[in-house]
Amino acid sequence: MQNKGTYQAPKGTEDLYGERAQAWELLQQVAARVFSRYGYRPLYTPIFEATELFTRAVGKATEVVNKEMYSFKDRKGRNLTLRPENTAGVVRAAIEQNLLGEGGSAKLYYAGPMFRYEKPQKGRQRQFYQLGAEALGVTLPEADAEMILMLWEYLCELTLPQQHLQLLVNSMGCPQCRPLYRKELAKYLRAHAEELCADCQERIKTNPLRTFDCKRPSCCKVLAGAPKIIDALCPDCAEHQKRVERLLNDAGLIYRIDPTLVRGLDYYTRTVFEVQVVDGMGAQNALGGGGRYDGLFEELGGKSTPSIGFALGFERVMLALEAANIRLPFEKGAQVFVAATEDALREEAFALVRELRDAGLPALCDLQGKSLKAQFKAADRSGAALVVIVGPDELDDGYVRVRDMQSKEERLIERSRAAARLSAELR
Ligand code: AMP
């Protein structure tokens, strides 16, 4: 039996290796490609921040802050938290580093681990990987439409079939209209309190909109009849929402207005959206989502800076790709393996490997002192298409032998032109 060692990765975390690790790299490369077309630049912020940043930004009466944060004190007694999401960190950095500059706006994206103390299950981990984009200092509905279109384009570029996905859109209103709606909703929920679970009964007092996040059938039934925020928007929010819808329609995007979409964090205003996988992923069907957060900069001590962003989970993207039976197009591994027939020729083999790599070909040679037979086995395992055999007689005549690993055919090529010829053949 395989020795598993003394220590295991903590519950809810995973080691990324093999194709999964390659997938992570690819998901980030595609993001860099797509997002840069929209003018986004990368931003790296710390993995831990002051706890206060998240309680202020995400909201005290949210699941994330109440139950899920990995908070700790450092040796000087400072209260710190492993980031449960990254919008708060991006906004903090934008204020602290003056990232908005004179133009008053910035487009930034990030990818990295987030941490939430949740019950681990398929598509739900305690350390998970999010990719996100934030457009800061943008007021127009065009910014909302552009953000949604960029997320959609990213998913299309990963070749996720559109029929597997659905896009939901809603508006959360603003500080003018939402408080009135909250009151109206709370009144309705109080009238149905005995049909709600204990958590939702509590939410009537603390944060009635959060009841829409509850998955219990009895609560969902009550909420199906609840007043809808989209019907309670003030004229400005309603106009904003209509224009977002028009822009999405003009772009040919298919989406559904979902009046129950409220998302789990308190900072959202106006447009919120989510991309879900239609089936095959159970309850964790949200690939990603986001929304506008027009008040967050001020909440965190900055100037008024209307903004919008989204975040998407890599683990969920992988599940969606699996459900749709899609394999990501990974770069091939080594294409050429150079084998030496005897120890005296290892340096010659090493020189040829360098030449092949200089010519742009992924190439390998043995680094373990293996026999020729074992080198062939290693070449096979590496997936190389060709093995170049460096042997004394051929080399004396100025040649090396090339073996095609698939057809098993062998031929001689000139040593001095080997790298140029093979790179021309294989590319
Ligand atoms: P949120 O920050 O809650 O809006 O989540 C945005 C996206 O991050 C979700 O749609 C998921 O893809 C991903 N996500 C959130 N929490 C987790 C988790 N615990 N495990 C894996 N992915 C997550």
Look at the chain and count its residues.
427
| Ligand 1 atom at minimum distance from 290 CA | 4
Query: Per residue in 232-282, pLDDT tens?
Result: 999 999 999 999 999 999 999 999 999 989 876 778 899 999 999 987 777
Q: How many domains does the chain have?
A: 3
Mean pLDDT of the region 209-221 = 90
Pair 281, 417 in one domain = no
Mean pLDDT of 100-121: 96
For 98, residues 6+ apart whose C-beta sits below 8 A from its C-beta are none
Q: Are residues 42 and 185 in the same domain?
A: no
Helices (H) and strands (E) in the chain, counts: 15, 16
Q: Taking residues 48-61, report their average pLDDT.
A: 92
Same domain, 372 and 312: no
Q: CA-CA distance, 329 to 332, in Å (whole number)?
A: 9
* CATH number of the domain encompassing residue 295: 3.30.930.10
| 282 and 208 within one domain | no
User: Do 184 and 277 lie in a common domain?
Assistant: no
Q: State the Cα–Cα distance between residues 287 and 320, nearest whole angstrom.
A: 8
Q: Report the distance separating Cα 278 and Cα 270, nearest Å.
A: 25
Question: Regarding predicted confidence, which is higher, 163 or 399?
Answer: 399
Please state the atom number of ligand 1 nearest to the C-alpha of residue 124: 20
Inside any domain, residue 270: yes
Is any ligand 1 atom within 6 A of the Cβ of residue 118? yes
Nearest CA to ligand 1 atom 18: 124
Which of ligand 1's atoms lies nearest the C-alpha of 123? 21
Q: Are residues 267 and 192 part of one domain?
A: no
Q: Structural domain of residue 213, as residue ranges? A: 178-230
Q: How far apart are CA 207 and CA 61, in angstroms?
A: 6
Q: Which residues contact 223 (CB under 8 A, 6 or more apart)?
A: 211, 212, 214, 260
Together in a domain, 414 and 299: no
Answer whether residue 2 shows pLDDT above 80: no
Q: Does 387 lie in the same domain as 355?
A: yes
Give, as one character, the DSSP assignment of residue 234. Answer: -
- What integer pLDDT is reported at residue 282 of this predicted model? 77
Question: Residue 81 — very low, low, confident or very high, per pLDDT cuts 50/70/90?
Answer: very high
Pair (285, 362) in one structural domain:
no
From the centroid of its chain, how far is CA 14? 16
- DSSP class per residue in 63-103: HHHHH--EEEE-TT--EEEE-S-SHHHHHHHHHHTTTTTTT
Q: Any bridge partners for residue 371, and if so which?
A: none
Ligand 1 site, residue 286, Cβ cutoff 6 A: yes
Question: What is the C-alpha separation between 134 and 40, in angstroms, rounded?
Answer: 9
Q: How does the average pLDDT of the chain come out, rounded?
A: 94
Last residue of a domain, one of 230, 247, 267: 230
Average pLDDT for residues 396-410, to the nearest whole number? 96
pLDDT of residue 1: 65
The pLDDT of residue 112: 98
Among 323, 350, 372, give the residue marking a domain's end: 323
**Percent of all residues in the chain with a pLDDT value above 70, rounded to a whole number:** 100
User: 391 and 248, same structural domain?
Assistant: no
211 and 239 housed in the same domain: no
Check pocket membership of 132 for ligand 1, CB cut-off 6 A.
Answer: no
